[in-house]
Structure 1
Amino acid sequence: MPRLFSAAPRRETLLYKNQSLNYTLVFRSRRTIGFAVKPDGSVHISAPAGTSPEWVAQQVLKKADWILKHLETFASRPAPLPTRRFEPGSTHYYQGRPYALRLAEARRLAVIIEADELVISAPAPISAAQTEALLHTWYARQAGAHFAESLERVWPRFAEFNLARPTLSVRHMRTRWGSCTPRTARIRLSPELMRARPECLDYVLLHECCHLLVGDHSKAFYDLQTRLMPDWVRWKDELNALPK
């Protein structure tokens, strides 16, 4: 079977509306020209074998507005959040402060903060998965007292409504920071909130407390949330910017 023609890719640059337009050009055994704009901002052109780079450049200029529109769309998208790692030296947060992870040998399992380090001690080497599990457990152990302190800060804002004080519990949740059951006035909060600043925790708790009055996410809900915490968007954005 004869091999299909495919020349080595070549880098090309055009000037369009005082803007440089860079693209990678490759000639293939095909009948039509193909255009592709990738999320990383690269432009790829596949042209029929036998055509010239000059002809391709003319086609690119005809398609330039379409290419630039897609480049602008990809550039405006937020960068993906970094993924947490669990090896020595990786960064982990506690109450909004970053700490370098250090693994140490000791007779008993322990997680402590020393200066700017988050130290996990164990009697034998542990895997990244074990490290992650130990950190989750440690966050959960710290959470109860801090959640109670947050309620002391947040609850006075609801005094005008004469509501029953909610009951708080710690619960691991994969996709949410918190949840509320208005009928029983029970609020569940993720121990992962211990990674964020107290203001972020207060925002989540206030959000769930607002559900005691408005069960959905209607305009009435957000009007209430904004009245009780005008700067809530700031804390929501900071919370959601934490590495996943």
Structure 2
Amino acid sequence: MEQKEFRSAGGVDYALTRKRVKNLNLRLGPDGSVRVSAPLRASAASVDAFVAAHAGWVQKALARQKAAEAARAAAPTPKPADCLPLFQAVSDRVFPRFAGVLGGQKPIIKVRDMRTRWGSCHPAKRQITLAARLALQPPEAVEYVVVHEYCHFVHPDHQAGFWALVASILPDWKARRALLRNAR
């Protein structure tokens, strides 16, 4: 049974939800709200201390979130139809590495206005969906996301085998992923 209350600690107003979890978890909502989930047995004082200890992180994260929103407002999301040729071209370059796994059939590439992901893969549908705003990122980052999603046709999870496959195709994948992390 979840219990919710609103509290403040270290200059941070937050919503506390008590539930069956092992650890304290601090999250920022897309609206800038701060949410903490805590074990049922955690004292209010320990939760407040946790939030106060992370107040600096919360303030920096909120500033990054506002900066990202301002950047998105300055550069509106392109229309999905305008992005598809770019993504299809990258997919066409990556496909030969995965042709055997996909039985020689290219996956369907779709474009959506996604806010929380750069891409997703649906192996059962043989489909990759990419965020329209990905088209605004550097070509190296776009290629990383496409390769990442293709690798899910082989490994549906993010375990060691998945990352080894990504690294075999893009040895500099961490630098490419960093380009995206700075864009959010």
State the TM-score, normalizing by the size of structure 1: 0.46
What's the counterpart of residue 116 of structure 2? Answer: 175
- Give 1:87-236 correspondences, 5 Å limit: 135-136=76-77, 138-159=78-99, 161=101, 163=103, 164-236=105-177
Does structure 1 conserve the Cα–Cα contact (< 8 Å) formed by 2:99 and 2:106? no
Structure 1 position 193, deviation (Å): 0.1
Shift of 1:142: 2.0
Offset from partner CA, 1:127-174 (integer Å, 9 cap, x none): x7xx87xx22x3423211111111122223324546431110011222
Q: Secondary structure at the match of 1:212?
A: coil
**Equivalents in 2 of 1:206, 1:228: separation in Å?**
8
| Deviation string, structure 1 residues 20-52 (Cα, Å, up to 9, x no partner) | xxxxxxxxxxxxxxxx87855xxxxxxxxxxxx
Question: % of aligned pairs identical?
Answer: 31
Higher percent of residues as strand: 1
* Equivalence for 2:178: 237
How far apart are residue 194 of structure 1 and its match? Answer: 1.1
Query: Greater helix share, 1 or 2?
Result: 2
Q: 1:149 corresponds to which letter in structure 2?
A: A
How far residue 227 of structure 1 moved from its aligned partner, in angstroms, is 0.9
1:199, CA displacement in angstroms? 1.3
Partner of 2:179, secondary structure, is helix
SS of residue paired to 1:83: helix
Q: Kindly tell me: are residues 78 and 238 of structure 1, through their superposed partners in 2, closer, same or farther at Cα, counting changes over 3 Å?
A: farther
- Spell out, residue by residue over 1:67-108, the C-alpha distance to the aligned partner (whole angstroms, 9 max, x if none): xxxxxxx7xx989532332xxxxx67xxxxxxxxxxxxxxxx
| Aligned-pair CA distance for 1:212 | 0.8
SS at match of 1:84: helix
Larger radius of gyration: 1
Residue 200 to residue 39, structure 1, CA distance change in 2 (3 Å): same
1:229 Cα offset (Å): 1.3
